[in-house]
Amino acid sequence: MRYPFSVGRSDFIQGDEAIARAAILAGCRFYAGYPITPASEIFEAMALYMPLVDGVSIQMEDELGSIAAVIGASWTGAKAMTATSGPGFSLMMENLGYAVMTETPMVVVDVQRGGPSTGQPTLAAQGDVMQAIWGTHGDHSIIVLTPATVQEAFDMTIRAFNLAEKYRTPVVLLTDGEVGHMRERVNIPDPDEIERIYRKIPKSKEQGKYPFRDWDGDGVPPMPVFGRGYRAYITGLTHDERGKPKTVEAEIHESLIRRIVDKIEKNKKDIIDYETFDLDDADVAIVSYGIASRSAIRAVKILRKEGIKAGLLKLNVVWPFDFEMIERIAERVNRIYVAEMNLGQVYHLVKEGANGKAEVELIPKIGGEVHTPKDIIERVR
Amino acid sequence: MYLESSYKIRDKYLRTDMLPTMFCPGCGIGSVLQFTLRSIEELGWKQDEVVWVSGIGCSSRVPGYVNFDGLHTTHGRALAFATGIKMANPDLKVVVFAGDGDMSAIGGNHFIHAIRRNLDVTVILINNFTYGMTGGQVAPTALKGLKGTTAPYGNFENPFDISQLAVAAGANYVARWSVFNYVQGMNSIKKALQKKGFSLVEFLSPCPVSFGRRNRMKTAPELIRWYQKITVPISKAKKMSPEELEGKVIIGEFVDRDRPSLDEEYERYKERAKKLMGWEE
Amino acid sequence: MRKEVLIGGFGGQGVILAGVILGRAAAVYDGLYAVQTQAYGPESRGGASRAEVVISDEPVDYPKALNPKYLILLSQEAYDKYLSFGDDGAIILIEEELVPHRNKELEERFKVYALPFTEIAENTTGLSLTMNILVLGFLTKVSGIIKEESIEKAVLDAVPKGTEELNLKALHKGFELGKKALNGEL
Ligand SMILES: Cc1ncc(C[n+]2csc(CCOP(=O)(O)OP(=O)(O)O)c2C)c(N)n1
């Protein structure tokens, strides 16, 4: 397999570009998008690469169309992705729910910018966290990854595809304009060394007839591929295991939705990913993620030098959320600070997790600039 | 025209476990479905190479009843989903079943852009002049003066002519009939299915329950009689003045041409990319 | 060893490209860590333009320049806005023709090199556009933050095909001037 960029070596590229290359290396062969700052560079890279690797890159008429095309492509067996920013992400919400309900693997990248509305197109924010988790209507669960560096943007894109395929679910790669546009070194592995997961497909025609039956007991039904004789019928209406609309039967709705939620919530251990810095003996914990966590790391280093026992929990996945871990941390520390580029989103999750065992305080930041280490230090000191 | 027995069509193409349908007495969707299945049968298409896609609405429930791969999507977005299916696997044949509201209101933008791209799909459009599923609100196709629950005193807006819109946007094949014109209708579906690129067959289709009831046409026969009154064959329409055509709906075949389809263009685009990048001679 | 570089100028001077090349030299060829960020948006459309590069021998946490030890100021606006950001003893390169109004008092905190870089580039390569590369050469020499052969390689990666010679010429001129500056020969 020939790649349109160099592999097996490092390069100095933007986060957006890293996401595009990682997608291609993960096996993504369908991209549909609509231009929007600061995500357009992902689309532009895909437009350059896809035709060369016999994939598809297409510019749709809007973001509703982009995500719809991606879902359609996924049902033909393709790994597929779209990328956008706030306004487009808002437009995608209905079909994101469709992907949840129909258990369609796909990756949506949201390169966050300041909002609401058109907001600050060129500046970074982390204001879409709750939208990524809860933006589509109805009960559900979803996976949301938050890279903080260009290397993480690359690695988490590959992971996003693997999680999407493994759990037959949409995955949101929630990054921001700062990571999207910054350049850093990325180690692009040898393609043979990349772990790639592919969705389970039905083992028989009979299995294929039941696109929503949990044959293996892991909550993840094998997914038929259109055109291979399974004659699958897929609907966003509440459906039974056969796919037949069953819109008034409470038990059917409950068992479907519970399975869709459980396949993620019960696999939290596998999905959740985080890092800690100096947290073990800390008196104060800072919780942060994405670009803001980089300022938090610096803040911790400086605070430690000043003799303040600060530590950091850096979340790489903001949903599913490990409330129990937060409680364990809360039991050990006096106070938890949440540093994020919004007026409090993950803060509420942390507060719930802390369960009153420690004070939880928000270190917010809006306007487009990343927190400076000082912004954090002054609050903690 | 030789017609296969209805039983054979039913047994071969319908998912018996999904029946009965949710369609009301007098609804025209079943007829149009029958035309489509008969056309597929006559063309000898294999069921496993066809995917049916739809949005939301009564008409959009059709893929659930037929024994093919089917994607019942969100309101108005069927063509965008279909774009992904067709482009990711151009070997698949894609049939889109849609309502007039689905295709011309909420999905209007996807409709014109799918046509502009000349996406290789066949759209079978059920035009009942109303939002059937949600109980008879006016649709963008509703002729002036027709009543709906959201224009109880008679529609005051101008209607869309979906077929003409498709012609203008660049479709390869466009025809419109009423369900009553079943021979022409089936012939058009057959042509449309065989056509590379975008094809549309629009049917005026009775919805006695949501639409007829509110417009003094409580039964399908009354609606069919009304169709006969308002429809004008295209040959005749050519000789009529705009004033005479006011409030009429032209039926017939509007366009039949062979512009390259999106997937064909994309194949060439890939070759061009590889040449420009020096990957291929 | 965290080293922060801030480059300020206006659109068309190749400010961002200079930042990218510097970061690339450090990250890809010197085996260091580097982050390059830029002011993007209304500012990048012809008006003011700014690139920041943070270089370190350990992973870079906070990605922005807080107290740059190195500043390249290529316009009056950039000078006025960013000079005071400089850390004590910072090395400041100034395009002197484009910065007519100077704050001598503030400059005393720094090590300042003010030269007509654009004119020198024009005289060296015939193309004033190569000024950004020349300045990078100068900075490499006077700062020692990256190796000369690394910046050479990074320049070759980044410039359009067919302009390699020209750009290397500009870079080498920068090295030469930097050396003179170090020897107090300027
Ligand atoms: C985003 C969204 N808005 C509104 C609806 C409610 N809705 C369901 S079907 C429908 C209209 C259907 O009318 P039409 O497309 O003409 O199809 P018909 O039912 O007449 O066949 C509407 C408005 C929806 N499902 N989704």
Average pLDDT over residues A57-68: 98
pLDDT digits (tens, 9 = 90+) for A259-312: 999 999 999 999 999 999 999 999 999 999 999 999 999 999 999 999 999 999
- CB-defined site of ligand 1, < 6 Å: B 56-59, 75, 99-102, 126, 128, 130-134, 139
Q: What angle do CA B110, B116, B119 make, to 5 degrees?
A: 75
Residue C98, SS3? helix
Domains A9-193 and A274-380 in one fold: yes
Residues on chain A touching C54 (C-beta within 8 angstroms): none
3-state secondary structure A139-188: CCCCEEECCCCHHHHHHHHHHHHHHHHHHCCEEEEEEEHHHHHCEEEEEE
The two structure tokens encoding residue A157: 């894109």
Q: Write down the pLDDT at residue A133.
A: 98
Q: DSSP class of residue A248?
A: S
pLDDT digits (tens, 9 = 90+) for A102-120: 999 999 999 999 999 999 9
Q: What is the residue-wise DSSP string for C126-186?
A: S-GGGHHHHHHHHHHHHH-SS-HHHHHHHHHHHSPTT-HHHHHHHHHHHHHHHHHHHTT--
Q: Is C17 in the A-facing interface, judged by CB distances under 8 Å?
A: no
Looking up residue B158, the CATH number of its domain turns out to be: 3.40.50.970
Contact assessment for residue A315 and residue A353, using Cβ atoms and an 8 Å cutoff: no
The two structure tokens encoding residue A201: 């497909």
Looking up residue C42, the CATH number of its domain turns out to be: 3.40.920.10
CA distances from C85 to B195, C7, C107 (A): 67, 12, 11
Q: How far apart are CA C93 and CA A314, in angstroms?
A: 38
H runs (alpha helix) in A58-128: 63-74, 86-102
If one residue of B131, B160, B207 were mutated to test the ligand 1 pocket, choosing by the most ligand atoms within 8 A of its CB, it would be B131
If one residue of B102, B141, B179 were mutated to test the ligand 1 pocket, choosing by the most ligand atoms within 8 A of its CB, it would be B102
The backbone torsions φ and ψ at residue B26, rounded to the nearest 5 degrees and listed phi first, read 85, -5
Q: Which residue range is the domain that position C148 belongs to?
A: 2-182
How far does A10 lie from chain C, in Å, by closest CA? Answer: 7
Ramachandran region, residue B136 (left: φ > 0; alpha: ψ -120 to 50; beta: rest): left
For the cut 90, the answer to whether the pLDDT of residue A169 exceeds it is yes
pLDDT digits (tens, 9 = 90+) for B89-102: 999 999 999 999 99
Residues in chain A: 381
The backbone torsions φ and ψ at residue A99, rounded to the nearest 5 degrees and listed phi first, read -65, -35
For CA atoms B129, B132, B138, B139, give the dihedral sign: negative
- For residue C46, what pLDDT band results from cuts at 50, 70 and 90? low
CA distances from B49 to A208, A216, B6, B86, C15 (A): 16, 28, 22, 11, 55
**Number of domains comprising chain B:** 1
Beta bridge partners of C111: C91
Task: Please tell me the distance between residue A65's alpha carbon and the centre of ligand 1 in angstroms.
Answer: 17
Beta bridge partners of C94: C73, C114
The residue whose two tokens read 């459009």 is B125
pLDDT digits (tens, 9 = 90+) for C88-107: 999 999 999 999 999 999 99
- For residue C45, what pLDDT band results from cuts at 50, 70 and 90? low
Largest CA distance in chain C: 44
The two structure tokens encoding residue A62: 């809007």
The ranges assigned to domains in chain A are: 9-193, 274-380
The residue whose two tokens read 């300041």 is A114
Q: DSSP class of residue B148?
A: B
Q: Write down the pLDDT at residue B281.
A: 76
Ramachandran region, residue A290 (left: φ > 0; alpha: ψ -120 to 50; beta: rest): left
Picking from A66, A235, A244 by the largest number of B CB atoms within 10 A of its own CB, the best residue to mutate is A235
For the cut 60, the answer to whether the pLDDT of residue C43 exceeds it is no
Residues on chain A touching C23 (C-beta within 8 angstroms): 12, 183-184
Q: Is C47 in the A-facing interface, judged by CB distances under 8 Å?
A: no
Q: From atom 24 of ligand 1, which residue's Cα is the shortest distance away? A: B75
The residue whose two tokens read 């180690």 is A187
- For residue C39, what pLDDT band results from cuts at 50, 70 and 90? confident
Share of chain A above pLDDT 90, in %: 99
Question: Are residues A182 and C35, on separate chains, in Cβ contact within 8 Å?
Answer: yes
Residues on chain C touching A12 (C-beta within 8 angstroms): 20, 23-24, 27-28, 34, 36
Q: How far apart are CA A347 and CA A292, in angstroms?
A: 13
Residues on chain A touching C33 (C-beta within 8 angstroms): 184-185
pLDDT digits (tens, 9 = 90+) for A219-261: 999 999 999 999 999 999 999 999 999 999 999 999 999 999 9
Residue A335, SS3? strand
Average pLDDT over residues A126-141: 98
Beta bridge partners of B253: B175
How far does B91 lie from chain A, in Å, by closest CA? Answer: 9
Interface partners of chain B (CB pairs < 8 Å, 3 or more) are: A
Does B208 sit behind a cis peptide bond, omega within 30 degrees of 0 on the bond before it? Answer: no
Nearby residues of A298 by Cβ (< 8 Å), 6 or more positions away: A373, C61, C62
**Number of domains comprising chain C:** 1
Q: How far apart are CA B114 and CA B111, in angstroms?
A: 5
Q: What is the CATH number of domain A274-380?
A: 3.40.50.920
Beta bridge partners of B131: B137
The two structure tokens encoding residue C28: 């890809």
- For residue C40, what pLDDT band results from cuts at 50, 70 and 90? low
CA distances from A78 to A31, A34, A172, A212, B110 (A): 10, 20, 17, 19, 22
Q: Amino acid letter at A8? A: G
Question: Are residues A71 and B81, on separate chains, in Cβ contact within 8 Å?
Answer: yes
Q: What's the gap between Cα B55 and its chain centre?
A: 12
Rounded to the nearest 10°, the torsion over CA A197, A200, A201, A204 is 140
Contact assessment for residue C14 and residue C81, using Cβ atoms and an 8 Å cutoff: no
Q: What is the CATH number of domain A9-193?
A: 3.40.50.970
Q: How far apart are CA A143 and CA A145, in angstroms?
A: 7
Largest CA distance in chain A: 67
Q: Which residue range is the domain that position B186 belongs to?
A: 2-277
CA distances from A215 to A100, A141, A232, A265, B20 (A): 19, 21, 16, 19, 27
CA neighbor of C131 nearest in space, from C161, C167, C165: C167
Nearest chain A residue to B21 by CA distance is A245
Share of chain A above pLDDT 70, in %: 100
The residue whose two tokens read 């609401």 is A116
Share of chain B above pLDDT 90, in %: 97
